[in-house]
Each structure stands twice: as C-alpha cells, then as structure tokens.
Amino acid sequence: MNRYFFILKQLSRAIMIIVGIGISLPLIIGFIFGIPSGKILALIASTLALQATASPVGVGLGLPPEIILAVMVCFALGMVMGIYEILDTMALTSIRVKGWLDKTEQKMWKLKKFNKYGAFACILISWIPGLGLYSTPVIAWVLRWNKWLSILCTIFGFSIVTIFFMLLAMGILK
C-alpha cells in the first residue's frame, strides 16, 4: 500500500504543477491585465489541442501578442514539467522502467557529444505539430539529456513556433 501512496503523491504533484503553472498562472496574468478568464481558458484549451499552432486563436480572441505568448508559454512550461514529474514517478516505481533507463544511460554515455548537446535538439523536436510539446520531454528523458536544459530548449522552440504562427495570423508574415 505504501508504493501506491507514493505513486498517488507523485501524480498529485504532477497535476499541481500542470494546474499551477499551466492554468492558474495564465489566469492570474489575465486577471492582472483585465482579460476575461473565458478568453484565457479558451486559449489554454486551444493550446492543449493545437500546441504552438494555437496562437492564431489568441489573435482571433483579440488578445495582445505578449499575453498570447505569456499564456501559451506558461501552459507549455506546466505541461513539460508535469510530464517530467510523471516520467520520474515511473522510473522511481517500476523496476522494469528503471532497468531500461539504466541501460539507455550506459549507452548514451558512450556518445559524449550527443549526451552533452542533445538537449538542444529539443528546440527542433518541439516544432513537430501534434507531438512536439508532449513528446519532447519524453524523448529527452529517455535519452537522459539534462532535464533543465531540455525544458528550457523545449520552451524556447515552442515560443519560436508560437511567435511565427502569431505573426502569420496577424498578417505581418505572408
């Protein structure tokens, strides 16, 4: 029963990260700038489904570009950190997953440059429509890349695509 309590505790932590950073923080930003919570929640829901390509929804809602970017980045950060928390829980509670990760880590240490600079690939991986935001932390975690650098690179790549689609939606890029 102790193992199940630990899993529940860890998963609760992941949910708190996702809700706290990914939903509550954008709502606070909206509140501070006088934006109705319905618009913020609509952008969050769109980002959940469309990921970085959701910025045109924010433009359509009449939100300022900096608010669109802030809301989407907060959501992305909450999701990526939450996914890492779930993955870490799997490694801590499953002997099979832990063994598989140890084997992967041993192989990765042989590829020193790939291991050292691999996290920068998260910038490009995060661009993949439909998978980028959710698969990038999984790939980085499995390949044992630096967690915080991978998170930073994922959010940076996500931001680039968000800005690109926002500029398209605003008619600045054609």
For residue range 78-102, what is the model confidence (pLDDT) as tens digits?
999 999 999 988 887 877 877 777 7
Q: Is 131 a residue whose pLDDT tops 90?
A: no
User: Are the C-beta atoms of 118 and 143 separated by less than 8 Å?
Assistant: yes
> pTM score > 0.75 for this model?
yes
Q: How far is CA 173 from CA 50, 51, 68, 165, 166, in A?
A: 20, 20, 17, 9, 9
**pLDDT of 7:** 84
User: Are the C-beta atoms of 82 and 23 separated by less than 8 Å?
Assistant: no
Band the pLDDT of 64: cuts 50, 70, 90. very high
Band the pLDDT of 111: cuts 50, 70, 90. low
Band the pLDDT of 103: cuts 50, 70, 90. confident
* Residue at token pair 């063994």: 99
* Residue at token pair 């932590």: 13
How do residues 149-168 score in pLDDT, each as one tens digit? Answer: 999 999 999 999 999 999 99
Burial of 134 (0-12, 13-18, 19+ CB in 10 A): middle
